[in-house]
Structure 1
Amino acid sequence: MRYLYEQGYTTLTLQQVKDLYYSDKPLPKKAVLLTFDDLFKSVYIYAYPILKKYNFHAVGFVVKNWLFSETQEYRVDKSVTMSFQEVEKISDVFEFANHTASLHKRSKECTEVQVVDKEILYKDLMECEAFVNTKGVFAYPFGGYNEQVIENLKQLGYLLGFTTEEGKNTIATDTMKLYRYGVFINYDINKFMDIFQ
């Protein structure tokens, strides 16, 4: 994050991304959208304080039914998500968008959102949509999608869909197939900087 700060990057909101694609409003020259899927507790412990330090904005894609009613102990050896209270605490830095209420599952062949009945999908999406503060934006669980999922989302009024496919988005990028770069714990600063070249 220090690299982005020192290089003069602006962290975007989802509204700015919507405005780019649907209102032709230009973005700042050095712009980046920071996204975090699933809201694991590690985001609360590590990412949130650093983002706050640099006055950066980020997006948390929420799996609503993974959130705990009570704060859980953080464990390095186990994936633990945040509590509702922790989500509220980070809302000065994060906005929240839909990553399903409980359909964040996959088999070897596909994800749950790709095969579930349309009515079940709609009900699930609406449950999560009622919780998040940014509407009409979806991150595909495990990056899995197909044309039917996209059509279902469009029928519900979704404007942006985020994949896990790597690449840089341009004004010509399909708004329901937006790219993202994954940044993982084993990345060194050089690999991170390569994303921005």
Structure 2
Amino acid sequence: MSAFIDGRLFLPDHSVIVTDDDADPSWLELAVPLVEKYRVMTTSFVITVNGAGPELTPYVLKRSHTHDMHAAGADGKGRIVTWTHDEIVADLDTSASVLGGTKEVVAYPFGHYNDAAKQAVADAGFEMARTIDPGYVSIGTDKLALPVVRVNYGMTVDDIKKAIG
């Protein structure tokens, strides 16, 4: 993804990266067996406050969905937009440590982010961050504000094809 955004890698039109947030039981029970069967590389964004989660398959890469920021702060907004810079960096360092030290990409909790959160993510050593903003990644996309095409429970293959474009 990073090389594509930098213009150093060509990807065919309609290429996708499959991700999951929260390692939800429905993902574990319904999707992971298909991921393994069809050998589809995926990224599961894990909230690490309760650990790294179960070992799944070599086709599921676990990445940070933060350690303990997937909760509302005092004002009801996600902690990543209410905590201090140092608190965010420390949380992300902890999450990366739980996941074996990997710091390539993080998913913003609830999709909440702002410029201060983006700076803290970068200062924690992460190159990319995924939002829930709808859209497509192209050359030059802000690596700390990656958009997504959401796939929700109940969508058909035709629905997904239509969403991908």
Tell me whether the two structures share a fold, i.e. TM-score over 0.5.
yes
Q: How many residues align?
A: 163
Q: Work out the percentage of aligned pairs sharing the same amino acid.
A: 23
- What corresponds to 1:73 in structure 2? none
Unaligned runs of 5+ in 2: none
Check the 8 A contact 1:139/1:161 in 2, yes or no.
yes
Check the 8 A contact 1:66/1:102 in 2, yes or no.
no
2:28 is equivalent to residue 44 of structure 1: yes
TM-score, structure 1 length as denominator?
A: 0.75
- What corresponds to 1:59 in structure 2? 43
How far 1:192 moved relative to its partner?
A: 1.4
2:3 is equivalent to residue 19 of structure 1: yes
- What corresponds to 2:69 in structure 1? 103
Q: How does 1:177-188 map to 2 (within 5 A)?
A: 177-188=145-156
Check the 8 A contact 2:103/2:125 in 1, yes or no.
no
What amino acid maps onto 1:114 in structure 2?
V
Greater strand fraction, Structure 1 or Structure 2: 2
Find the partner of 2:79 among 106, 109, 112.
Answer: 112
Check the 8 A contact 2:36/2:57 in 1, yes or no.
no
What amino acid maps onto 1:96 in structure 2?
K
Q: How does 1:1-197 map to 2 (within 5 A)?
A: 17-22=1-6, 24-67=8-51, 84=53, 86=54, 88=55, 90-106=56-72, 109-133=76-100, 134-197=102-165
Greater RCO structure (CA 8 Å; 6+ sep): 2
Check the 8 A contact 2:42/2:61 in 1, yes or no.
yes
TM-score, structure 2 length as denominator?
A: 0.88
Unaligned runs of 5+ in 1: 1-16, 68-82
**Structure 1 stretches of at least 4 aligned residues deviating more than 6 Å after TM superposition:** none
How far 1:196 moved relative to its partner?
A: 2.2
What amino acid maps onto 1:25 in structure 2?
L
RMSD of aligned Cα (Å): 1.9
